[in-house]
Amino acid sequence: MPLKILILLLSLFCLTSSSVFAKTPIRLGVMAGGTLAWELAALKNLDLPEKTDFEIETITLADQQAGKIALLSGSVDIIISDWIWVSGMRSQGGDYSFYPYSTAAGGLLVTADSPIQTLADLEGKKLGIAGGELDKNWLMLQTLGLKQNLDFNKPQNIVYAAPPLLNQQLAEQRIDALLTYWQFAARLQAQGYRELLSGEQIIRELGITEAVPSLGYAFRAGWAEEHKAALLSFFKAADTARESLCSNEQAWDSIKPLTQAEAAEVQQHLRKRYCEGRITAWGEANRKAADQLYQLLHQLHNNKLTAKNPHLEDGTFWQAN
C-alpha cells in the first residue's frame, strides 16, 4: 500500500476515533455552598465522570438570580432553579424546561419554648420571611392560612430579610416565628429550635398528596434534545452520587467541608433534610400535583408570581421519551 494512502487512512481513523469517543461538555452553573456542589464532589470521588459520555465544566454562581442570568445569556447549560420560573420563561416564548432535583423545601420555626403550637397561634404575631413577598414557601403558607380562615399577610407583622439576619432576630425574640430555606431550618433545628411545619408538610396540608419538587435542573429544551443521551447519563450519575451521600459514610465525610458546618449535629440535620428531599418517583401524577399547587399560588398577590396563566405552560417539565 502506498505510504500516502496509509497516512491518509490512519488520519481518517484518528479523526473518527476522536469523534466517537469525544465527551459532550455540560456547563453547570453551581453555587459554592449549594447541594449541587456536594454532589459534583461526590461524583468526582466516585470516578463516575471517567466512565460516562459527558464532561462537566462548572461555572461558579453568586446566587440563584445570577444563575438565571447565566442561563438566559447562554453562559451555562444547566442551573438549579424553580419550575414556576421555567413556566414563566416559557410563557414569554423561552425554550426552557425543568427536570426535578429535590423536594426539600423550607421550614417554619419557632423557639423551643415558644407558646406557638398551631398556625392559629401565629395570628397577630411577628413573622420573618426569607425570600421576599413572592417566595413560594411564603405563598404556600398564606394559602394554607386562608384555607383555615387565617390572614398572615399583614404588613405590620411581616419582616422580609436575608436568612442570617432573620436567624439573629429570632434568637433575640424580635420576631415570633421564621419561615426560611431548608438548609437554614436544619441548622436552627440542630440548635434546638422547633419546626412548626416543613414546606413539604404545608403542601400536604393543602391537600396535595403527591411529591412536588421544590427545585430542579433548568435548561433549554432544544439543547436537551440535542444532547439527550449525555444529559440522561448526567442525571443518572448525579442520582448515584446523591445516593452515595445518603448511604455511604465515607462519601459523606469527603464532602463535609462543603457543608460549611463544623458541628456534628448540624451536619446530621443537613444530611437528614437533604436525603429526605431525594426524588424517588416522578411521573404524570407528580406533574399534575405541581399544576395543582401552581393554581393555588396563582390566586395570590395579583398573579405576580405566576403571571396571567392559571396553569403551568406545556413543556415546563422535560420528558425524555
Continuous segment of H or E residues that includes residue 238 = helix 228-247
Q: Look at residue 243 in the predicted model and tell me its pLDDT.
A: 96
**35 in Cβ contact with 84 (< 8 Å):** no
**27 in Cβ contact with 57 (< 8 Å):** yes
Q: Look at residue 13 in the predicted model and tell me its pLDDT.
A: 45
202: helix, strand or coil: helix
Q: Look at residue 284 in the predicted model and tell me its pLDDT.
A: 94
List residues bridging with 57 in a β-sheet: 27
Q: Look at residue 225 in the predicted model and tell me its pLDDT.
A: 96
Show me where the domains of the chain are located. Answer: 24-103+214-266+278-303, 107-205
Average pLDDT per consecutive 10 residues, the chain (321 residues; last block may be shorter)? 48 45 89 91 81 89 93 97 94 95 94 95 94 90 92 90 95 96 95 95 94 96 96 94 95 93 92 94 93 88 73 92 72
**89 in Cβ contact with 96 (< 8 Å):** yes
Do 107-205 and 24-103+214-266+278-303 have the same topology in CATH? yes
DSSP 165-190: HHHHHHHTTSSSEEEE-HHHHHHHHH
**108 in Cβ contact with 177 (< 8 Å):** yes
CATH number for the domain formed by residue range(s) 107-205: 3.40.190.10
The fold adopted by the segment(s) 24-103+214-266+278-303 is: D-Maltodextrin-Binding Protein; domain 2 (3.40.190)
